[in-house]
Structure 1
């Protein structure tokens, strides 16, 4: 994949916030890209953080993505909800070329094994990002708009190499991705970054959803002990996975995110508010399942998982 000689096509599954943020970066960088949806819809208008507005191209319906024997080649980025990933990967099985590269970009953990099982010969990356935005509709119509709210950093690492891949191929892929994803940082141990993000999500998302509060309220003393216990459980799990995570470091990151996003509502809070399924099974649920495998007690994560499930049943 040589950036100078041939620009690989970027395939973005879904047209949600993260997909559309990356699509806008690709648009501005003049990189070829396509977004894919299950049903046809009007493309969103992007309200960029710097003040400009951009209209994204109409997305392609995934079932119609490939005509004849031609398959999707290039870089396929999957920035969907975690619970959608397995279905997306199944849909892609007969649609992508042997040289395609997969990038999983979502909250939570538990999908990597599915990707590796379905695509054992492909290069697969996992990534986590702090770039952000939110979807809304204007008061004058029902067209979807997306407000960009943070540039953020994205951490990415390899979880599976294609048999034909080499260091040069990986360097070219990451170099090209850095032209459409700002502040892209390669991690040789991506699992440490993913577990760090898991801790942040496992603390902030369910507590703000359960108590119906903005992120910043978690800085109140009444939530401190619960937050610390959730964090400690995830650090213990990470240590059982031979990951070098420091409780103090993770706790400081959690508190930093609470303060930095103090005026925001978490994604899980918004899912519950708008009657949508949450990603709790891939956040606190992942912690509970992995802990059960090794006989580790994680009572705080179990409580949060059960509580969110109760809220979901009421939707």
Structure 2
């Protein structure tokens, strides 16, 4: 039996709460948000059961005032646009060699983290669906798969160790030596789902209805050739199957961009659609569907 490590999760949004509620059962964990809370986290399981889970919820400032075991790994569960600022603040509280695990959407922040952080930077691509409920709740709206690796495949042992603890907590997790390919696949999924559900304020499953189904297919038709032009290998069953399977698995989920719109927060439009438009520009291709989607998506 392995000795349970100490992990910190930076960011108490939907994924932060989800990972916190599950991982706290198998390792020592601190969920770091904007304010501390002594009450339990209310976890709504996919089967419909509700559990009150004792998760140590605190702030970086509070942790600095007390003696806690230094983290063996910090999970970054912040929004993409807030990640660099959060990491700058984190740097004052941890050893500079502390490994990070990035859960961010898109594929722009991960390479930047790998350049500025002295320690290992792992990247995760997950299809777990979750949304917050109130100040203390998280709804696990759809189970999925989490893949972990690093951009240069430098830290396979660390990646496999992280996978081990996620599986111990009941997630379905795997090490991926080609995580960059996986991140581009996830970006394609997010681009086909998030902007539309945010604009029309619908759940993922409603994309299966008309006129949204046609919109999703048009987006996928444009994304696939762009990514393949960058050397991204298409999924075995094709881009359409990849996206529609995720939509089906997370039908009841409120996608992250929809949650941002409903809460009056900035969205991750730039992180999700920006890289695709940059590819189109670099390839000198027209991308009218993506350009329209970008301009119609709340920022």
Do the two structures share a fold, i.e. TM-score over 0.5?
Answer: yes
TM range (shorter): 0.7 to 0.9
Aligned ranges for residues 135-284 of structure 1 at < 5 Å? 135-137=132-134, 143-160=135-152, 168-180=157-169, 182-246=171-235, 249-284=238-273
- Given the superposition, is the C-alpha separation of residues 12 and 265 from structure 1 closer, same or farther in structure 2, using an over 3 Å criterion? closer
| Unaligned residue ranges in structure 2 (runs of 5+) | none
Q: How many residues align?
A: 297
Structure 1 residue 154: deviation in Å?
A: 0.8
Task: Pick from 87, 90, 114 the counterpart of residue 89 of structure 1.
Answer: 87
Structure 1 residue 74: deviation in Å?
A: 0.5
Structure 1 residue 170: deviation in Å?
A: 4.6
Structure 1 residue 60: deviation in Å?
A: 2.3
Q: Kindly indicate whether residue 267 of structure 2 is the aligned counterpart of residue 296 of structure 1.
A: no
2-structure distance, mates of 1:71, 1:293 = 46
1:39 is paired with a residue whose SS is coil
RMSD of equivalent CA atoms: 2.8
TM-score after normalising by structure 1: 0.82
2:5 is paired with a residue whose SS is coil
> For residues 63-98 of structure 1, what are the alpha-carbon distances to aligned partners after superposition, in whole Å with 9 as ceiling and x for unaligned?
343469999441110112121112112222333224
Task: Look up the match of 1:140.
Answer: none
1:232 is paired with a residue whose SS is helix
- Given the superposition, is the C-alpha separation of residues 202 and 161 from structure 1 closer, same or farther in structure 2, using an over 3 Å criterion? closer
Structure 1 residue 205: deviation in Å?
A: 1.3
TM-score after normalising by structure 2: 0.86
Task: Look up the match of 1:307.
Answer: 296
- Partners of 1:154 and 1:181 within 8 A in 2: no
1-structure distance, mates of 2:217, 2:11 = 35
1-structure distance, mates of 2:241, 2:223 = 14
| Unaligned residue ranges in structure 1 (runs of 5+) | 138-142
**Runs of 4+ with >6 A deviation:** 68-71
Larger Rg: 1
- Given the superposition, is the C-alpha separation of residues 73 and 209 from structure 1 closer, same or farther in structure 2, using an over 3 Å criterion? closer
2-structure distance, mates of 1:101, 1:213 = 37
Structure 1 residue 275: deviation in Å?
A: 1.9
> For residues 71-127 of structure 1, what are the alpha-carbon distances to aligned partners after superposition, in whole Å with 9 as ceiling and x for unaligned?
9441110112121112112222333224421100122221012202211x3211111
Task: Pick from 30, 36, 46 the counterpart of residue 34 of structure 1.
Answer: 30
